[in-house]
Chains A and B, each alone.
Chain A
Amino acid sequence: MSLLFILGAGMLVGVTVTLAQTGSKTWLNPDVGRSDADRAMTIAQLKDRNAKWVEDFVSSGRDPRQLPVVQLETWSTGASSVADARSQSTVVVSGTVLSTTYTADPNNLTESVATVRMNGIGRGALPETIQVDQVGGPAWSPTGGELQELQGDPLLLPAQDVVLLLVPASSSSDSYRTVYGAGVYWITGSGLRAPESNPFASEVNGLSVEAAFALFD
């Protein structure tokens, strides 16, 4: 019944939109008259569909780099200075992203876990490989999907060489997460490159890994 309602409501609203282009603009809530249970079921079904899409994306081995990146804006912009980033981080490392996995949850945001091989350690003591947890990953969209990441935390992707400022993800795990807003720097042929959203990118861009270690030490 509720499924038919979605279709019916969609057609009704579509008609309304069409009318709006020539007449008074009005809008009808597709949920008017529906029970809370029916409304919740509709949302749950859509979220299940979205989670299934992520699972299919992962199982089919699709490359997340093929998806357009969408940043999810947040209340915080994160660390605002080198000193801020330095004080927030407990570990500073360089490494190579070996692989990433994505875990879909219909009741939450997709979780990304990157396995990173250590190439150098600026501060802290770490094993040869570590896991970095991030919020985001592939997400369903009507145009074939998108790669969603938090505004201040670019998703790590396989084969990237990076410098990372990290903190333990929790006291009960061996995983890490990046310092928000200033935790990820890509290593390129011309030195480090910070994401555009990084507030002190100009101080970091072009640095060598060793110089970056010194900056954040």
Chain B
Amino acid sequence: MGALLAGIAVSSVIFPSAAYAGHQYGGGDCWQYGTPLTCRVSWASGDHHHVYLRVINQLSNSTLWNAAVTGCSHWNGSPGPQYCHTTPYTNDSWVYFKRNDQIGAPNGVTYNCNVNGYCSDVIQAMNIYWTEIYEPKDNTNYASVLVPIAAHELGHALALAHHGAPGSNVALMTQGTTRTYPNSIDIGPQPPCSGASGASGVRCIYNGTL
């Protein structure tokens, strides 16, 4: 444990600060010069700039898990640099789906963690090492938003922030969304980061050329 903490201490010096003033976290640009962030440590530049997520089931509930898998497949099948699997994939990083029944339903919360083990809100700029997505069991009483919640939270795992007024449903990353797929706002335009500020999507974060 001592060696681990020593490693963490050294890493804390080497790694960029979690908070980065002026950085448009969630709006994209993690690949560009001027920021030390890449937003997800498993991002691989130079290889069509892909980012691979592996979702891991710690929900102990098949209904919640099925929705998580569907949300994952919707990201996976959409344009952009992101891939999402339930099985191991080279250069993947992990997203745990977990239960917290103390959260009032319907709801979900994403907890992003960096390589130092600092876990916090999705708006905290960091290089995400792993993600924990928490949902209450009572979400199963709200069948129509099961997939929207899972897919929305996976967007946070990709480093996307909220977009639009709550309830406006303009994108998957809108709070309270009922969308089940990411749309052009969530994915972003080509070339990456050529859209309006704050609406650059996952392509902009990872310089996605697909």
Contacts and interface: CB of A to CB of B under 8 A. Distances in A.
Interface of A: 3-4, 6-7, 9-11, 13-14, 17, 20-21, 24-27, 29-32, 36, 39, 43, 45-47, 49-50, 70-78, 80, 107-109, 111, 133-135, 139-142, 146, 148, 150, 167, 169-170, 177, 179-180
B43 A14 contact: no
B30 to A, nearest CB: 9
Contacts of B101: 170
Contacts of A25: 31-33, 38, 45
What 7 A-B pairs come out closest when comparing CB atoms? A46-B117, A14-B14, A10-B11, A7-B7, A180-B104, A76-B107, A6-B7
B4 A3 contact: yes
Contacts of B113: 43, 46
Interface residues of B, number: 69
A140 B111 CA distance: 13
A178 B52 CA distance: 37
Binding site of B, secondary structure by majority: helix, strand, loop or mixed?
A: loop
Interface in B74-98: 88, 91, 93-94, 98
A10 B117 contact: no
Given A20-B33, A21-B33, A109-B111, A73 B121 contact: yes
A3 B3 contact: yes
Contact of B18 (A24, A29, A142): A142
Contacts of A72: 109, 111, 120-122
Contacts of A29: 41-44, 91, 93
Contacts of A30: 41, 115, 129
A10 B10 CA distance: 8
